[in-house]
Amino acid sequence: MPDRIYNFSPGPATLPREVLAQAAKDIVNYNDKGIGLIELSHRSKEFMAVAEETEALLRELLNVPDNYKVLFLQGGASTQFAMIPMNLLGPGKKATYLNTGTWAKKAIKEANIIASADVAYSSEDSSFNHVPAQSDYTVDPESEYLYFVSNNTIYGTQFHTFPETDKMLVCDMSSDILSRRIDINPFGIIFAGAQKNMGPAGATVVIIREDLLDRTPDSIPTMLRYKTHADKGSMFNTPPCFAIYAIGLVLKWLKKMGGVSALEEMNREKASLLYQAIDATDFIKGHARKDSRSMMNITFNLPSSELEDQFIEEGLAKGLDGLKGHRSIGGIRASIYNAFPRQGVLDLIEFMKEFEQKNG
């Protein structure tokens, strides 16, 4: 087996090699203290320092304003689908949602369990191949917030400009957080599961405006209240220690690479190389409409599902792993998050050309 393959998996996803090597060492003996990282008490001064550093780096790299809390929670991004309406929508309240794919739909379902979701736009009829333009929907004046998914991991679409509305924005940034510069100020809540672009599975980052912490109805249980976690610096109970530590390593790597704006340039270049290869031939068809193309997840189809299976199998033999599209749309998906190397993109493009020559 080769020492390392190119992992195009949508998540858990590829991480920087040096992060894996450092984690492997620290798990056995953290900072030469004779104790493994994942054996440390979360209340120990060693781990408290790790958690503080991770939060400080995230604040620095994303330019998080002082009136926002940064939380590290468990339960995955999926738990946020329910926690958001639980905390922000009291009885009889509603919020507006943009239905741009599977993850948006799941969030809408949860919002309707707790309160009421006003779905102002859906691209479902066109297999979620685009995200709406500003003029495509209106936000109900009674809505508490406008919810959207910045990058639709499964369909390979992305908002290139964020919605503009006088309501606060709430956003699932699971698959593109830290991939481009953003202005946090229009957002009430941004959340992201770590396992796409930030670290290993196990932690969900929530960035929440402080004034929202006091809106939660009394009926909501302790663990599901943002304030519980905000008041205790994400240490109300045992936090996802390893994930927080590993996110910290990824953030240090990101900073060393030049920060979010440097990564944004690299991501843009990697994605455009791949889209150019897609556009250069009729053999391959991109799934996303051009104006909605994701820089993170590039989705495309070959002329038949048999050819797609063959492509995935032959790709794997060449060390190109994780290219199978999500079961809901099939086809091919290349996930190329921050840590995915440019060379892997070049290798995939070469393989695409070779494959077309043999089978086109």
Ligand X SMILES: *Cc1c(COP(=O)(O)O)cnc(C)c1O
The residue written with tokens 């002329």 in the block is 303
Nearer to ligand X, 103 or 187 (CB): 103
Q: Which is nearer to ligand X, 11 or 286 (CB)?
A: 11
**Rounded least distance, CB 201 to ligand X, Å:** 7
Is the Cβ of residue 196 or residue 293 nearer to ligand X in the bound state? 196
Tell me how far, at minimum, the Cβ of 315 lies from ligand X, in Å: 22
For residues 242 and 355, which CB has a smaller minimum distance to ligand X in the complex?
242
Contact flags string 3-32 toward ligand X, x per CB under 6 A: --------x---------------------
Select the residue whose beta carbon is closest to ligand X and give its number.
76
Residues involved in catalysis? 103, 172, 196
Q: Which of 9, 87, 122, 153 binds ligand X (CB under 6 A)?
A: 153
Q: Are 147 and 112 in contact (CB under 8 A)?
A: no
- Measured from the CB atom, the residue of 204 and 228 that comes closer to ligand X is 204
Per-position x/- string for 239-278, each x denoting binding to ligand X as judged by CB under 6 A, each - no binding: ----------------------------------------
Enter the tokens of residue 77. 């991004």
Tell me whether strands 204-209 and 68-73 are parallel, antiparallel or unpaired.
antiparallel
193 near ligand X (CB under 6 A):
yes
Pairing of strands 94-99, 143-149: parallel
Region near ligand X per CB under 6 A, out of 62-70, 139-147, 168-176, 217-225: 168-176
CA atoms of 277 and 346, how far apart (whole Å):
10
Could you tell me the smallest distance in angstroms from the CB atom of residue 150 to ligand X?
Answer: 8
User: Residue 76 CB, nearest distance to ligand X (Å)?
Assistant: 3
Quick one: which of 26, 55, 110, 172 contacts ligand X (CB under 6 A)?
Answer: 172
In our burial notation (b when 16+ CB lie closer than 10 A, e otherwise), range 31-70 reads eeeeeebeebebeeeebeebbeebbebbbebbebeeebbb
Of 14, 175, 216, 299, the residue at the interface with ligand X (CB under 6 A) is: 175
Q: Which of 103, 121, 159, 275 binds ligand X (CB under 6 A)?
A: 103
Positions touching ligand X (CB under 6 A) are 11, 76-78, 103, 149, 153, 172, 174-175, 193, 196
